Chains A and B, each alone.
Chain A
Amino acid sequence: MAERVPTVPITIDGVEMEATAGETVLQCARRHGVDIPSLCFLEGLSPVGGCRLCVVEVAEDLRLRPACATTVTSDMEVTTQSSRLRSYRRSILELLFAEGNHVCAVCVSNGACELQDVAVRCGMDHVRYELQAPRRRVDASHPRYVFDPNRCILCTRCVRVCDEIEGAHVWDVAHRGHGAELVTDLHRPWGESTSCTWCGKCVASCPTGALSHQGSSVGEMRHTPDMIAWLVAARRREWTEREARR
């Protein structure tokens, strides 16, 4: 048996549970089957707290906290569902839908899209805000992959996975604010990139239809974001070294 990891008691939505010291509220909640929506967080990558969907109320704290980047403390009291949080989450999702072109019926990821899934779970059934209808050029220059910036929600999973795991740093965010967009190298077509290793981890991590495999048609694209956590564990030699210790 591995050495015991210390635990701390915390309460989430009125239910007492044991959290592993050092883990985040999001990790603890998910281990216990509590659903906190989130889009930018991906197990294995550093948290950035950018989508703000996972904000929760912490007792005696006036500010909302992102569950993905809030470490558990002993006797912490967390509320993940309240009418305020639900209404805020719906609004943030509406803002994301209004910002891009998220027409599920024509999307490669229809039926297997994290954005779509979270919207359904949060009860977002219409968009109150002005649709910004971006007309950004789709980059299909890569022999294997396609990037549609109009479906991108700037979660930056691809940027982080390429930098932190693959070590290539092909992707980055350019410009800022409402003009922010993902670029490869010096904003040249992806297919001309000299830094891309064709590893496909960016595509695997994408929560929407922004990154897909060439040739996918509507509803065909299946992302595999969970592979990232496995890959990280493997690269830390977690399994091989456990074998050696035995």
Chain B
Amino acid sequence: MAAPIDLHEVAEREREEQFRTPLRVHVCHSTSCATAGSGAVLQAARDLAEGDLASSVAVSPTGCMGLCSAGPLLRVVERGGGQHDYHHVTGAAAERIVRHHADRGAAVPEHRLDTALPFFARQHRVVLANAGEIDPDRIESYVAHGGYAALERALTSMTPEDVLDQVRRSRLRGRGGAGYPTANKWALLAAAPGPVKYVVANGDEGDPGAYMDRTIMEDDPHRVLEGIALAAYATGARHAYIYVRAEYPRAVERLDRAIKVARRNRLLGRRILDTDVDLDIEIRIGAGAFVCGEETALLASIEGRRGTPRLRPPYPTERGLFGAPTMINNVETLANIAPIVANGGDWFASIGTPGSTGTKVFALAGDLVNTGLIEVPMGTTLRDIVEDIGGGMTEGHTFKAAQTGGPSGGCIPARYLDTPVDYDSLRALGSIMGSGGLIVMDDRTRMPDVARFFMEFSKDESCGACAPCRAGTVQMHHLLTTISSGRGRRRDLRDLEHLCAVVRDTSLCGLGQTAPNPVLSTLQYFRDEYEALIAPAEGGHG
């Protein structure tokens, strides 16, 4: 058995390496920027660093810097700490920018991104602290930023109960959407009789319009592994699974590599860091089914079966994967664990609001000036997110609604823009926090169409195991299509509302129970749009 990694030494060496050159160039190489052409940018920068600027420039690919709509993004970091960001960078521009910095020690005005912009200044990065800073493929990079220090501390100087206690004090709630207190889940698994129990990381991000979890898995894979290891230590599990959507091959590749490296460095596997603690993590890949985000469906899928949810109780913490007690945590939830253990639960609880502590990552998209991945303290108002961080609506248009929670959530109108974004406030408005998709729509959007879009999604993603969801979503979609096309009658609207109640109250799992939400919330706030579509002969307003 190889000797375990010496975290201090690796961190020391990596920091020295970082100060070797006066300039360091970070190229955002996340999926979004890669699509926009960051490969050429990275190559151009590397050519310089391996050519005549070898002594003055070091280049590193990094994870998501956030402002995806302006990618590819490039960051020049000076030895003295100065930092300059650039947007819409091409290979040629990268060469010009890096050369200019190296030769003149000054920034280039073209492509310059002002980091004092509210988009950057209003954010608070805990989960994404390393994104844009570290090279996701290098464990040294993670370790130099404090990685695995929390795990080392937990294994050497904390009992499992101590770790659980910090999570309890943090009042962290599940980031998958429902907001169940994380410590309660952990305590249930910890109390479950051993010896076989499982921790499962849910990376089946299915909300169409959300990519927070993908970014975390791709850009900081070791953080996810460290979170899982801490969860396993606190609950006494020795086996863990990460369930990743098949649509995220890059996340699978990065996690796979990270697991192998962590195992070789004795951060996973037998006798982690020479303690008595063992943990193995296995990746399981989905095959395209939104419903697999539901806990019991996800477990069925890991077992190689159809991803149909089953009746609860028994809950997974009583009888889960392969019949053993199992705890399922969302990837973003787990990404919060290492910082909580490192800085203490009280530190975490001081961020956000008393009921919703910490930060939340959102995939901000839609008709805004700035779109991308943002992380804000819980309780930040929607207005701050839309107007400051998002930079307001695109030219000539006004805000109409913000959609949170995807197919399980709702649309929030302008009059509630000052609502703080937290679990309970969003629920009170008929929406949900969801996993973090936040789509902002302008005055061109027709809300019955939005409701129809989400119902089509739920109809296609229903597993079919229970009658109201399987057949009810088909009928609701049919009614919404009829109404959207202007052929609807008053009776159709009445039938639609009734079906919403039936499907919400009688469906077997969360997918069906929440599928009516987009309809209910648009009916609540934009009813006049539905009324206007009712055929005039039937007594509508039109």
Contact = CB atoms under 8 A, between A and B. Distances in A.
A88 interface: yes
A177 B475 contact: no
Contact of A66 (B306, B311, B499): B311
Contacts of B505: 55, 63-64, 84, 88
A99 B461 CA distance: 17
Contact of A99 (B310, B459, B471, B495): B471
Interface residues of A, number: 34
B506 A88 contact: yes
Interface string A161-180: 00000000000010111111
A175 to B, nearest CB: 8
Given A66-B311, A176-B462, A177-B463, A52 B468 contact: yes
A176 B499 CA distance: 21
Interface string A92-134: 1001101100000000000000000000000000001110100
Interface in A209-237: none
Nearest to B495: A128
A92 B468 contact: yes
A178 B476 CA distance: 13
A50 B471 contact: no
Contact of A178 (B470, B501, B508): B470
Interface string B287-324: 00100000000000000001000110000000000000
Contacts of B470: 99, 154, 177-178, 180
Contacts, number: 94
Nearest to A180: B464
Interface string B459-486: 1111111111011111100100000000
Contact of A47 (B311, B459, B502, B507): B311
Contacts of B474: 99, 132, 178
A95 B468 contact: yes
A96 B466 CA distance: 11
Contacts of A88: 501-502, 505-506
B462 A177 contact: yes
B427 interface: no
Contact of B475 (A98, A154, A175): A98
Contacts of A7: none
Nearest to A130: B478
A128 B494 CA distance: 11
B498 A91 contact: yes
Contacts of B311: 47-49, 66, 69
Interface string B370-412: 0000000000000000000000000000000000000000000
A92 B467 contact: yes
A177 B464 contact: yes
Contact of B466 (A52, A84, A87, A98): A52
A218 B206 CA distance: 46
Interface in B431-468: 459-468
A66 B468 CA distance: 13
Contacts of B471: 95-96, 98-99, 178
Contact of A177 (B310, B460, B468, B506): B460
A175 B499 CA distance: 24
Interface residues of B, number: 30
Nearest to A181: B464
Nearest to B463: A176
B507 to A, nearest CB: 7
B169 to A, nearest CB: 29
Interface in B164-198: none
A29 interface: no
B473 A177 contact: yes
A179 B475 contact: no
Contacts of A179: 464
A110 to B, nearest CB: 22
A82 B345 CA distance: 47
Nearest to B477: A178
Contacts of A42: none
Contact of A92 (B459, B460, B462, B502): B502
A51 B464 CA distance: 11
A12 interface: no
A132 B477 CA distance: 13
A129 B508 contact: no
A177 B459 contact: yes
Nearest to A55: B506
A50 B310 CA distance: 9
Nearest to B476: A129
Given A177-B459, A178-B459, A180-B470, A50 B498 contact: no
A99 B311 CA distance: 23
Interface string B238-268: 0000000000000000000000000000000
Contacts of B495: 128-129
A66 B289 CA distance: 25
Given A47-B311, A91-B498, A178-B462, A129 B475 contact: yes
A153 interface: yes
A85 to B, nearest CB: 9
Contacts of B498: 87, 91
B459 A153 contact: no
Contacts of A173: 306, 464-465
A176 B508 contact: no
Given A95-B471, A95-B472, A177-B473, A64 B506 contact: yes
Interface of B: 289, 306, 310-311, 459-468, 470-475, 478, 495, 498-499, 501-502, 505-508
Interface of A: 47-53, 55, 63-64, 66, 69, 84, 87-88, 91-92, 95-96, 98-99, 128-130, 132, 153-154, 173, 175-180
Given A48-B465, A92-B468, A176-B306, 11 more contacts: A47-B311, A50-B467, A64-B505, A88-B502, A95-B471, A98-B471, A129-B478, A154-B470, A173-B465, A176-B289, A178-B473
18 contacts: A48-B310, A48-B311, A49-B466, A52-B507, A64-B506, A88-B505, A91-B498, A92-B468, A95-B467, A95-B472, A96-B467, A132-B474, A154-B467, A173-B465, A177-B459, A178-B464, A178-B473, A178-B474
CB-CB nearest 6 A-B residue pairs: A180-B464, A95-B471, A177-B462, A91-B502, A99-B471, A52-B506
